[in-house]
Amino acid sequence: MKYAPLTDADAPKSQWRPWHLLVLIVLVAATAIILMRNRTATDGNVGFQRDEGAIFGTFYHATYRSSRSLKADIEAELQRVDRSLSMFNPTSTISRINSGTSDATDSLLQYVITLSQRVSESTNGAFDITVAPLVNAWGFGYKSGTLPDSAAVDSLRALVGYRHIALTEDGRIEKDIEGVVLDCSAVAKGFGVDRVAQLLRGQGINDFMVEIGGELVVSGTNPDGQLWRVGVNKPVDDATSTSNELEAVLPLTNCAMATSGNYRNFYITDDGRRISHTIDPHTGRPAQHSLLSATVIAPTCAEADAFATAFMVMGLDSAKALLESQRQLQVYFIYDHDGEDLIYSTVH
Ligand code: ADP
Ligand code: MG
C-alpha cells in the first residue's frame, strides 16, 4: 500500500487563536488569586514558628517563617550574648574585665563597645557604658534609704567617662584609671535581637519579628502577609502597673525599634522625687525631663536601644536637635506638657 505524502492542505486545521492565550492568562491569574486568598483566609500563618523564653532578666519572642523550629539555635545565640555581656553572670567576658581577672574582650563585646563609644561621641557623652558606679549608688541608695549626697556623687563621677576606656588593636580593654566598670545593659537587649535576626537571615528567612523586652527587629511580612504592627506603650505613671495600654500602633518592616521610658523602671522617694534608672553622666544624677518615653527606629536594634537611652538623658529639645545629624533614626517621643501627654513623631 502506498501512502501519498501529506501536504499542508491535509493537515488538521490549527484551532489556535491569539485570544486563547489571553483566556489562559486570565484563568491562571484567577486561580492564583483564589489560592492565595484561601491561604490567607484559612491558613495564613502556615510555616510560621513562634518561640519564646527567658533571657537577660526578661523574655524573648521570635516569630519567623520556617518549616522547622530554630529555637535551640536562637537560644544558643542568646546564651552567647549572655556569656559576653551579662553583668549577672560572673564568668561573662564583661564580668571578668570588671573584676580585673582579665582584660581580654571577645568579638561580640568588641562590636558593642565600638558602637557604644560611637553613640557616646555623637550624644556628647549622654550615653556612657561606664556609668555603672552611679547607677548602683542611686539604686542602692534607694534600697538602703539614703540617697547619695553631692560628695558621694562627685567622687563616683570621677570613675565615669567613656574616654577612660579604649579597645586595643589586639582586642584588649585599656582603662586609664582604676575603678572604671563596664555596663552594656542599655544596649544588650538590642544587640541580642540583632544577633537573632542575623541568625534567621543566615538561614534564608526573610519574614520575621524578634523581640527582647520590648526591643525588636521586624523583617518582611507578618503571617497575614502585611507589615508588622508594633505597639508603643502609653507611659502609664505607676511603678507597680503592668498596664500594656498602647499609645500607638506602627506598621513597620525591615527596621529595628527600641523604647526607653522613665515610667517603667523608677521609684519615688519619700519626698516625692522620681528616681529613674537612666543616669545623666554629666550631673551624676538620674535624668529628669519632660520626656516620658523615647522610641527609636534605626537600622540596627543595638543602635536604636543605645539612642533611646541617650535621648532619655538628653531630654526633648536636645534629642530633637541631634536628629538633624542622625538621619538614620526615626523617633516617636511621648512627653509631658502641663500634665498632658504629647507626641513628637518623625515616623513615616
Ligand atoms: P531602658 O529600657 O529604660 O532603656 P535599658 O535596660 O535599655 O532600659 O537600660 C537601662 C540600663 O542602662 C540601666 O540599668 C543602667 O545599667 C544603664 N544606664 C543608665 N544610664 C545610662 C547612660 N547614661 N548610658 C548608658 N547606660 C546607662
Ligand atoms: Mg536602652
Q: What amino acid occupies position 200?
A: L
State the average pLDDT for the chain: 88
Q: What would the pLDDT profile of 243-287 be if each residue is shown by its tens digit?
A: 678 999 999 999 999 999 876 656 666 666 666 789 999 999 999
User: Which atom number of ligand 1 is nearest to the Cα of residue 308?
Assistant: 4
Residue whose CB lies within 8 A of the most ligand 1 atoms, among 142, 165, 309, for a mutation test:
309
* Any atom of ligand 1 within 6 Å of the Cβ of 278: yes
Cell of 28: 491562571
- pLDDT higher than 70, residue 39: no
- Angle, CA of 57, 59 and 65, to the nearest 5°: 150
Q: At what angle do helices 316-323 and 301-314 cross, to 10 degrees?
A: 140
Q: Comparing C-alpha atoms, which of 206, 161, 211, 191 is closest to residue 51?
A: 211
Res 92: pLDDT:
97
The residue contributing the CA closest to ligand 1 atom 16 is 185
* Any atom of ligand 1 within 6 Å of the Cβ of 186: yes
User: Which atom number of ligand 1 is nearest to the Cα of residue 313?
Assistant: 23
- pLDDT-based confidence at residue 25 (cuts at 50, 70, 90): confident
Q: What would the pLDDT profile of 172-197 be if each residue is shown by its tens digit?
A: 999 999 999 999 999 999 999 999 99
In this prediction the pTM is 0.85
* Any atom of ligand 1 within 6 Å of the Cβ of 313: yes
> What value does the CA radius of gyration of the chain take, rounded to a whole number of Å?
27
- What is the per-residue DSSP string for 81-131? HHHHH-SS-TTSHHHHHHTTS--B--HHHHHHHHHHHHHHHHTTTSS-TT-
Query: Ligand 2 centroid to 236 CA: how many Å?
Result: 18
- pLDDT-based confidence at residue 22 (cuts at 50, 70, 90): confident
- pLDDT-based confidence at residue 116 (cuts at 50, 70, 90): very high
Query: Ligand 2 centroid to 12 CA: how many Å?
Result: 77
- pLDDT higher than 50, residue 120: yes
Residue whose CB lies within 8 A of the most ligand 1 atoms, among 162, 279, 285, 305, for a mutation test:
279
In angstroms, rounded to a whole number, what is the distance separating the alpha carbons of residues 246 and 238? 15
Place of cell 557604658: 129
Percent of the chain surpassing pLDDT 70: 83
Res 266: pLDDT:
65
Residue whose CB lies within 8 A of the most ligand 1 atoms, among 140, 277, 282, 289, for a mutation test:
277
Res 229: pLDDT:
96
* Any atom of ligand 1 within 6 Å of the Cβ of 127: yes
- pLDDT higher than 70, residue 223: yes
Q: Comparing C-alpha atoms, which of 263, 289, 290, 291 is closest to residue 277?
A: 263
* Any atom of ligand 1 within 6 Å of the Cβ of 279: yes
In angstroms, rounded to a whole number, what is the distance separating the alpha carbons of residues 64 and 197? 10
The residue contributing the CA closest to ligand 1 atom 5 is 186
